[in-house]
Structure 1
Amino acid sequence: MRRIYPDIQDNPDIVQAYAYPDDRPWLRLNMVVSADGAAWLDGRSGGLSSKGDKRIFQTLRGLADVVVAGGATVRKEGYGPVPPRASWAELRQGRPEVPPIAVISRSLALDLDGPLFTDAPSRTIVITCEHAPLDRRRLAAQRSDLIVAGDECVDMKLAVAGLHERGLTRLLCEGGPRVNAQLSACDLVDELCLSISPLLVGGDAARIQNGEHAKVPLSLSQVLEEEGVLFCTYTRERRDDRADDAV
C-alpha cells in the first residue's frame, strides 16, 4: 500500500493515517463503491472489497469506540459480534477489547436471539424510537443496551447524543445508504472513508447515500492506493459550535 495524496509514501502507518482527533467527538462513515458508484455487488458490499479494504476496515473498527449500522445492513451483511484481535491490544488500551455494535432500527425486525445479541464480548446497543412495537422494545431491552431516540422515527441527533452519554465518542458508521443519508441530513458526519474498487457493475445498486437530501461539502484529505483500489478520506470543516451541539 502507498499514500499518493497529500504526499507520496510507501507503506504508510494505517493506524496513524486513520487516527481519530483527540479533542472532540467524531463520526466517520466507511463505505466501499465500484468505479461507477455502486454500493454493493449482488446485494452485498463484500463483492466490492479487496485485501487492502479489509485491512483498513479492521483498523477502523479497532480505532472506534462503537460501530454503528442500520438494521437492514445488519440483516443483509449477516453481522455478528466484533471478534477480538491481538493486533488491537495497544489500540484499545483503557477500552473494552472490542467495540460494541450499535444497530439503528425503527421496526426492531432483528434476530434478538442471534449471536450479535447473545455472544457479543461488548454488549450490543439497539437504537430505536417510541413508535417501535412495544413487545419488541421490551425484548430488545433484555438483549441489549437500548436507546430510545425520537417518537415516530429514530432521531439521529438524539441517537448520537445517547452514544456520547455512554462515553462512545469515536463513532464508525458502516451504513447502510439510508442511515448515511439521515446522518448527513442532520449535519452529523465529520468524515467519509471511501474505498473505490476498479470495477464497473451497472445495474440498480444503491449509492452510498439514498433517501433524505443533504448537501455536505467535503475536502479531500488523504488518498491511499493498493492494486488499483483507491482509499479516499474526505473531511468536513465544522462550525465552532458544532461539538457543543452534538453532545
Structure 2
Amino acid sequence: MQRLFPSRTAPVPSSHASEGAASAPEWSLEEIAAEYAYPPVGGGAEGAARWLRGNMVASLDGAIHHGGRSQPLSSPADMRIFGVLRALADVVVVGARTVRQEGYRPAKRRRAFADRRAAAGQPPAPVIAVVSAGLELDFSAPLFTEPAVPTLLITGGGAPPDRVERARQAGAEVVFAGEGGTADPARVPGLLADRGLRRQLTEGGPTLLGEFADAGVLDELCLSIAPRVVAGSAPRIMNGPVLPDPDAYALEGVLEEEGFLFTRYRRSRSVAE
C-alpha cells in the first residue's frame, strides 16, 4: 500500500521511510489505525461532541454491489481498512436492509486493538446499531444472539409495539429517535453520543447514508474505489432526495493498493454557505 495524498513530502509511517513507492509494502494494522484516527471527541473545547464517519465501496461506474453483495468489489486491503475502521469505532450504524442483504454479524473482538480500546474506555468490540422503521429483522440471527455487546435498534416512536417487545426479548436495546414511524436521522448521532458512543461509523446502506448527508450530520466519508466495472442498475453510495445545496468535502487522504483507491473526505460546508 502507498500513500498518494498528502504527497510523499508529508510524514509517512516510519517503517516505510526507506521504501520506494514501487515496493508498496503492506501497512501494519497500527499504521492504518494512525492514518484513520478519529479527531478528538468529547474532550473539551478542541474536541468534537461526536464524529460520524461513513465507509463505502463503489466500482468505477458507481455501483455499490454486484449481485446484491459488496464483497465482489472488495479486496484484501479494503478488508484490512474495513476491519481497522470498525476497531476504532465505538458504534457501527447500519440500515436494516443492509443487515438483511449482507447477513450482518456482531462486530468481532480484535486482539490487536484490545489495549487501545481499553485505554480509550471503549467496549471490547463496537456496538452494532441497526436503524429500522418496522423492525422486520431475524432476532434469532447471531447479530442478536451472539454479540460481544448488546445490539442497538434505532427506530421511531411509532414502531410496531409487538416488534419492539420482540427485539427486547431477544436482548437488543431499543432507542427511539423521534416520535414518528421512522428514526429521525438528524437525532441519531446525538442520541448515540449521549450513550458514550461518540466515535461513530456508518456502513450504509445508500438510503441511510443519504439521510445522514441530507440531515447535515455526516462528518467524513471514506470511499473505496474498486478497479471494476459492473454496469446494471446497482445504486450509488447514497440514495434519497437531492440536497438543497451541494455539500463540499475536502480531500484528506488517498491510499492505493493493486489499483484500489482508498479515499477520505471531510465535510467542509454547504456550497451555498
TM-score of the pair, normalised by structure 1: 0.93
Q: Tell me which residue corresponds to 1:99.
A: 126
Instruction: Kindly provide the CA deviation profile for residues 209-241 of structure 1, in whole angstroms up to 9, marking residues without a partner as x.
Output: 0113222211111000000000000001269xx
Query: Gaps spanning 5+ residues in structure 2: where?
Result: 17-24, 41-46
What's the offset of the Cα at 1:205?
0.3
Match among 174, 178, 188 for residue 207 of structure 2: 178
Partner AA of 2:67 in structure 1: D
Instruction: Kindly provide the CA deviation profile for residues 1-33 of structure 1, in whole angstroms up to 9, marking residues without a partner as x.
Output: 110101225556211110000111110000000
Match among 229, 232, 237 for residue 260 of structure 2: 229
Q: Tell me which residue corresponds to 1:7.
A: 7
1:55 aligns with 2:96: no
Instruction: Kindly provide the CA deviation profile for residues 37-62 of structure 1, in whole angstroms up to 9, marking residues without a partner as x.
Output: 11111111111000000000000000
Size of the alignment, in residue pairs?
Answer: 239
- Following the alignment from structure 1 to structure 2, what is the Cα–Cα distance between the partners of residues 198 and 3? 17
| SS state at 2:57 partner | strand
Query: Gaps spanning 5+ residues in structure 1: where?
Result: 240-247
- Following the alignment from structure 1 to structure 2, what is the Cα–Cα distance between the partners of residues 132 and 213? 27
Partner AA of 1:216 in structure 2: D
| SS state at 1:147 partner | strand
- Following the alignment from structure 1 to structure 2, what is the Cα–Cα distance between the partners of residues 145 and 160? 16
- Following the alignment from structure 2 to structure 1, what is the Cα–Cα distance between the partners of residues 60 and 252? 20
Partner AA of 1:5 in structure 2: F
Moved more, 136-145 or 55-64: 136-145
1:138-177 aligned at under 5 Å gives the runs: 138-142=165-169, 143-150=171-178, 151-177=180-206
Q: Tell me which residue corresponds to 1:113.
A: 140
Select the structure of larger CA radius of gyration: 2
- Following the alignment from structure 2 to structure 1, what is the Cα–Cα distance between the partners of residues 241 and 166? 30
What's the offset of the Cα at 1:193?
0.2
| SS state at 1:33 partner | strand
The answer to whether the 8 A contact 1:62-1:91 is kept is no
| SS state at 2:126 partner | coil
Match among 72, 95, 98 for residue 70 of structure 1: 95
- Following the alignment from structure 1 to structure 2, what is the Cα–Cα distance between the partners of residues 20 and 141? 32
Partner AA of 2:152 in structure 1: I
- Following the alignment from structure 2 to structure 1, what is the Cα–Cα distance between the partners of residues 32 and 149? 25
CA RMSD in angstroms comes to: 1.4
- Following the alignment from structure 2 to structure 1, what is the Cα–Cα distance between the partners of residues 193 and 186? 11
The answer to whether the 8 A contact 1:178-1:212 is kept is no
1:35 aligns with 2:63: no
State the 4+ residue runs in structure 1 displaced beyond 3 angstroms.
9-12
Instruction: Kindly provide the CA deviation profile for residues 162-183 of structure 1, in whole angstroms up to 9, marking residues without a partner as x.
Output: 1111000110000000000000
| SS state at 2:85 partner | helix
What's the offset of the Cα at 1:141?
2.6
Identity %: 46
